[in-house]
Chains A and B, each alone.
Chain A
Amino acid sequence: MIQTFGHLVALFMILSISAFGGGKVVLPTLQHQAVDKFHWMTNQQFVDLFGISIIDGPSMMVVTLVGLKACLQYGYVIAILGALVATIAMFLPSSILVLIVGRYWDSWKTSPWHESIQRAMMPISTGLILAAAFIIARHSIHTIPTAIMGIIALCLMLFTKLNPVIMIVAAAAISWVFLR
């Protein structure tokens, strides 16, 4: 149990300071570690948990669920503790970084390197998000109806301002009625 906590902390502290461009960019590594290395869950469970996590909160709440599942074998109380440990490990290091940089910001606010870093990091984030999208697609688009729902969601996101939570709830209802 202590060992699992240790793995969670070590993993998420590294991912925390690697998440340039938001939590989504660490998904490929998170999937690899949670499924292939530590065997906390199956690929299908990972993608299910990702689906559940985007219903609310900042983009990285799947971390909470990975912590929950990793410790589920020790009972519900420990599982929630695991979720808490994972969430803290994921959000604390990057938060401390915000405070530190915020303090010294004024001195390099005008530095041209700021623009350089931003332009340099964005394509890397994009490549990582692309890799994450592939992982999600492989375990969510199994059938023609799911493919159609995915494409409709993509189009709605790109061309309307519809709240994604409404889409999720609607898709859950539709697939419950038709795919049961």
Chain B
Amino acid sequence: MPVEAPNPDATPQPVSSDTPRVSPEVSLWELVFFFGLIGLTSFGGGLTAYIRRLAVTQKGWLTDEEFFSALAIVQILPGARVVGISIYIGNHLRGLLGAALALLSIMMPPFLLVCFLGLLYFHYGENSDSKALLAGVTAVACGLMASMVFEAGQKSIRGVFDVVMIIVTFLLVRLGHMHVQYVILLLAPIAIWWHRPRPEIKGDDLNQKGSTP
């Protein structure tokens, strides 16, 4: 294992109590194993909490603060959240190589499984047994999708403007057949401007008005 050789600091590891936290030394094999296991058991989502429990609480690879800072980044960027978090942790522990290995190992198990199921589907998809099976699978998929609409709606609606944005987005995509990248280029600047940071004075004004009888 050439991984652990160029690492002189590894031996005199002081279990410091008050010095600022340094990320623990983690071998690349451990990273691959960790994210491979998550990829292997990533059935059905809910993974963010799971990763936090393993990486923060159990392994101590990063602090809770670092984890939530990573989550905040990943949430406003495009892409799957779990993948983003994994890359961030990989990069945090072992730099670019760590990030690349985290991405590879979390993607590999589901990739192989999904490819296998896909080939089965194209081989046997036309017979009546698999059609019956798939009727149930897609019906549940539809129910899951609907539940995601509810969850996303609950998180995003805090005013009339948000409702208008949801409806406009839906109509542009559904009736206008506009592609997602153009929808975002068109609507995101408007929405960001609407939610722009307001100057503090306004808030103070309101507070003063509210407090003076």
Contact = CB atoms under 8 A, between A and B. Distances in A.
A33 to B, nearest CB: 8
Size class of A's contact patch? 35 or more
Nearest to A21: B152
Contact of B113 (A56, A98, A119, A142): A56
Contacts of B113: 55-57
Nearest to A64: B114
B61 interface: no
B138 A122 contact: no
Q: From DSSP, what is the main secondary structure of chain A's interface residues?
A: helix
Contacts, number: 348
Q: From DSSP, what is the main secondary structure of chain B's interface residues?
A: helix
B22 to A, nearest CB: 17
19 contacts: A22-B79, A23-B79, A28-B174, A51-B141, A57-B113, A58-B110, A98-B88, A119-B162, A120-B195, A122-B155, A129-B149, A130-B169, A136-B142, A137-B145, A150-B142, A156-B143, A168-B137, A171-B136, A179-B136
Interface of A: 14-26, 28-29, 32, 45, 47-61, 64-65, 68-69, 72, 76, 79-80, 83-84, 87, 91, 94-95, 97-99, 101-102, 105, 109, 112-134, 136-137, 139-143, 145-147, 149-158, 163-168, 171-176, 179-180
Interface of B: 39, 42-46, 69-70, 72-84, 87-88, 91, 96, 99, 103, 106-107, 109-111, 113-115, 117-119, 121-122, 125, 128-129, 132-150, 152-153, 155-158, 161-163, 165-170, 173-174, 177, 179-181, 183-184, 187-188, 191-192, 194-197
